[in-house]
Amino acid sequence: MTMQAMIDEWYPVGLISQLDAGGRRTALMGEPILVASDIDGKAKVTGGNGRILPVRLRYGHVWSSLGDPKNELFPIPEADQPGRRFVDVGVVRVRCSPLRAVENFLDIAHFPFVHTDILGAEPHTEVQNYKVEIREDVDEVWATQVKFYQPQAAKSASGGITTEYMYRVPAPTCSVLYKTCPPRPSEWDVITLFVQPLAEDICDVWPWMALFDDETSLTDLIHFQQTIFLQDRSILENQIPRLLPLDPGMEIPTRADLTSIAYRRWLKRHNYTYGAQLVAQ
Amino acid sequence: MKLYDYILSPSGYKVRLMAALIGVKLELRPVDFHPGLEHRSPELLSLNPAGSIPILEDGDLILTESSAILVYLAAKAAPKWLAGEKPEEAARVQQWLSFSGRLTASLGAARLHEMLLRPGDIAALQAQGMAALRELEAGLVEQRLRGMRFLAADRPTVADIACFPYVALAPDGGVLLDAYPTIRLWSRALRSLDGFIEMPGIHRLHELKPEPQIEPGEA
Amino acid sequence: MLADTTGSWTPVALSADLPAGTVNPARIATESIALWRSDSGRVAASADRCPHRGMRLSHGFVRGEAISCIYHGWSYAQAGNCLRIPAHPGLVPPETIRVVTHAVEEADGVIWVAFGTPASIPPKLDGFVPLRSLTILAMTAQIEAAAGAVANSEGLIESGTIRLLLSTQHEGETLVHVLVKDDADVATRITASRTAENLRRTAEDLQGKGSVQ
């Protein structure tokens, strides 16, 4: 187990809206932590030996770290854009590597088989070429010009459309998805996957959204995203091995998997291997 | 008819599935069970003091408990889903409707614990869930030996719909279904019925549709 | 029988539990396999893992003479070679993409799988037919004690009116196929099924980790 490189990262550990004095007992990378509000109502995260951990409140969530973060929590400019609705989807626990959860989020080829008649449907299974890069200036993985035919792309979509996506990986266990916004074609809907690594092979997943949608009820928006993620969960809990294999040979990617290939390469380059399996192990 | 429902609730799904199979239209009223705990809000508690969903409203009638709602829908729209005149068939429907409550208390609670972090003694819940699955498997084996594919008869009844969701979703709570071949056949028979609908965690049987002939560039 | 499974047949499932066009999870020695029957009725056994992203193939689906992974729909022939990658409809999958497959025999209503190439054929059931399979959380020794009989070299236990065909799954877990005389009537078969349940309770009590009731 190598925690070094990932220990200094920020991770989601709870919803701001659910902070209370009693606190949420949870874990971060194997260490028991308590996420609570103190006497002044401020968020406080306490590590296993009583030490006070750093805290940030952003994007609906409480963020913390076991180490000493060198960088500020990554920016999501859309989180400050007027007119968007911000949706806390709530936690879902999954018995898989936090890295597998992110990789699945970056994948579109599974839509027709796992999110049938919502995000994809046979015979529209082809993945067109798209662009992937590691943006050195911000040190993030980006996939752009990702297009896929979707029967019901969003709660606000009324029929099948070809949806365009952009994916960003700004932190080893977080991804931000930009997606065609049916009611406002000039903007992108933002859907994120924030993953809290409880241990190398189990995680709490906190999806969050920043959408332009004045029509759909908040509950419907939450349920749409929960539906999608719970369809993924039964896949994630049945991948072998549970850890993400970082060395080639164990799994076979194709052109459709360019985002996943770049993600794995970026993880390896930074030694982000908590939740990964290496041949050397 | 209005159903207070949660998309991830197997009990809500029982009602949606029954309605879909017999062609009854439901108006769905989504309840923010997670993370909002709306089922414990004053509005929902005034409908059902037990704080559980689903709740069915039909005019002045308010029904709680999914088994009762299944019986109501079937009696109104498709009586052949109820027990026939044979005493043993009627008794078997009742037996498995009662049994379905134990699936909720064991497999359902294990699922809520493992997935949505609700409290519970997970080892005990999983063990109780496994014991219930063994009973169901044994019951289905005996029905199969009698030449019947479903729990109470050779046709599906409300009893099958009451038991199916928590069984099919057992793996969500860490209880594997690998050891129950007859449950697997029964589950498949239900999933192959005309009008069957899924819920998250129960994927489409893609084999029921022929393989599409696809050409590159057509997508 | 079960110490060395290389080159010997393991009874993994009953024919009646694997209809045409379906896939089931099964085990041989310590390995998970995907056991599936094509639409035309041919049984195949492969490693329970799609080489693309590691998804269990036993969660997949069978169409025609191929099995497909539920995750991305990659499909494989009985011989294990990849036939189709739906994300790339124009691509002929290279020969290098394949799943490991195992030898399968189906006889007297039982499906047998072997690693390697066994020299022998699976044992005959001699006038007995399969009734049902059940998993017992106990080892062979406890099952033998519960049955009051010892398994022969083919893993078969004779216990009263039933026969038990054993297949060790994991440590402490045994798959048991219950056999009855081929002329047994329905009442006798139901009794045999209950006898097997009783035997499971006894064996698991002996093992010291019976199910919670």
Give DSSP secondary structure letters for B178-217. TT-HHHHHHHHHHHTSTT----TTS---GGGSPPP---TT
Residue B115 and residue B87 share a domain? yes
Query: Of A212-216, B213-217, C106-110, which one has max mean pLDDT?
Result: C106-110
Last residue within a domain, chosen from B38, B60, B80: B80
How close is the nearest chain A Cα to the Cα of C99, in Å? 12
Tell me which chain A residues have a C-beta less than 8 angstroms from the C-beta of B171.
234, 237
- Computed over every residue of chain A, the mean pLDDT equals 94
Among chain B, residues having any CB pair with chain A shorter than 8 Å are 6-8, 30-32, 34-36, 38, 114-117, 171-172, 174, 200-201, 203-204, 206, 209, 212-214, 216-219
- Min CA distance, A40 vs chain C (Å)? 47
C58, C178, C191, C193: best mutation site toward chain B, by most B Cβ within 10 Å?
Answer: C193
| Predicted local confidence at residue A152, as pLDDT | 80
CATH of the domain at B52: 3.40.30.10
- Which chain A positions have a beta carbon within 8 Å of C23's beta carbon? none
| Count: domains in chain B | 2
Q: Is residue B109 part of a domain?
A: yes
Chain A residues touching residue C72 (CB < 8 angstroms): 109-110, 113
Question: What residues have CB less than 8 Å from C22, skipping those under 6 apart?
Answer: B188, C36, C37, C62
Query: Could C132 and B181 be called an inter-chain contact, meaning their C-beta atoms sit closer than 8 Å?
Result: yes
Q: Which of C56, C71, C89 sits opposite A110 (nearest CB)?
A: C71
B136 and B94 inside one domain? yes
User: Domain boundaries in chain C?
Assistant: 10-114, 128-207
Who has greater pLDDT, C152 or A259?
A259
Contact call for A256 and C89, based on CB within 8 A: no
> What are the residues of chain C with a beta carbon less than 8 Å away from any beta carbon of chain B?
13-14, 17, 19, 21-22, 24-25, 59, 61-64, 68, 70, 73, 86, 88-90, 132-135, 175, 186, 189-190, 193-194, 197, 211-213
Check CB contact of B60 with chain C, cutoff 8 Å: no
User: Is position B208 within any domain?
Assistant: no
Selecting from B137, B206, B219 the residue whose C-beta is nearest the C-beta of C61 gives B206
Q: Looking at CA atoms only, how far is residue B15 from chain A in angstroms?
A: 17
Which residues of B fall within a CB distance of 8 Å from C62?
207
Domain that holds residue B163: 82-191
Confidence category of residue B64, pLDDT binned at 50, 70, 90 = very high
Lowest mean pLDDT among A100-109, B81-90, C117-126: C117-126
For residue C193, give the nearest of B142, B188, B214 by CB distance. Answer: B142
Distance from CA of A194 to the nearest CA of B (A): 16
- Does B52 have pLDDT greater than 60? yes
- What amino acid is encoded at C64 in this protein? G
Q: Chain B contacts of C213, Cβ < 8 Å?
A: 131
Same domain, B91 and B135: yes
Given a cut of 60, whether residue A267 has pLDDT beyond it is yes
- The reply to whether residue A251 touches residue C51, judged by beta carbons under 8 angstroms, is yes
| B7 against A161, higher pLDDT | B7
Q: Which CATH class is domain C128-207?
A: alpha beta
Chain C environment of B178 (Cβ under 8 Å): 25
Chain C: residue whose CA lies nearest to A240: C54
At residue A80, does pLDDT exceed 80?
A: yes
Identify whether the C-beta of residue B24 lies closer than 8 Å to the C-beta of residue B17.
no
A48 to chain C, closest Cα gap in Å: 34
Q: What is the mean pLDDT of residues B4-15?
A: 98
Q: How far is C62 from chain B (nearest CA, A)?
A: 6
Q: Which of C86, C88, C91 sits opposite A112 (nearest CB)?
A: C86
Kindly state whether residues B25 and B124 are assigned to the same domain: no
Distance of alpha carbon B55 from alpha carbon C142, whole angstroms: 49
Residue B212 forms part of a structural domain: no
Q: What is the pLDDT of residues A193-207, one digit of tens each?
A: 999 999 999 999 999
- Pairing between strand B27-30 and B2-5? parallel
The CATH architecture that domain A82-277 belongs to is Alpha-Beta Complex (3.90)
Report chain C residues touching chain A, CB-CB < 8 A.
32, 48-49, 51-56, 59, 69-73, 85-89, 91, 97
pLDDT-derived band at A181 (thresholds 50, 70, 90) equals confident
Q: What CATH number is attached to the domain comprising B111? A: 1.20.1050.10
B13 lies in the same domain as B105: no
**pLDDT confidence bin for A2, thresholds 50/70/90:** low
Q: What digits encode the pLDDT tens for the residues B132-191?
A: 999 999 999 999 999 999 999 999 999 999 999 999 999 999 999 999 999 999 999 999
Q: Same domain, yes or no, for B9 and B93?
A: no
| Confidence tier at B219 by pLDDT (50, 70, 90) | very low
Residues of C in contact with B146 (CB under 8 A): 186, 190
Q: Which CATH number fits domain C10-114: 3.30.70.20, 2.40.160.40, 1.25.40.10, 2.102.10.10?
A: 2.102.10.10
Q: Is B25 on the interface with C (CB under 8 A)?
A: no
Q: For chain C, which residues score pLDDT lower than 70?
A: 1-6, 209-213
State pLDDT tens for residues B93-118.
999 999 999 999 999 999 999 999 99
- Higher per-residue confidence, B209 vs B199: B199
What is the nearest CA distance from B126 to chain A, expressed in angstroms?
16
Chains near C (3 or more Cβ pairs under 8 Å): A, B
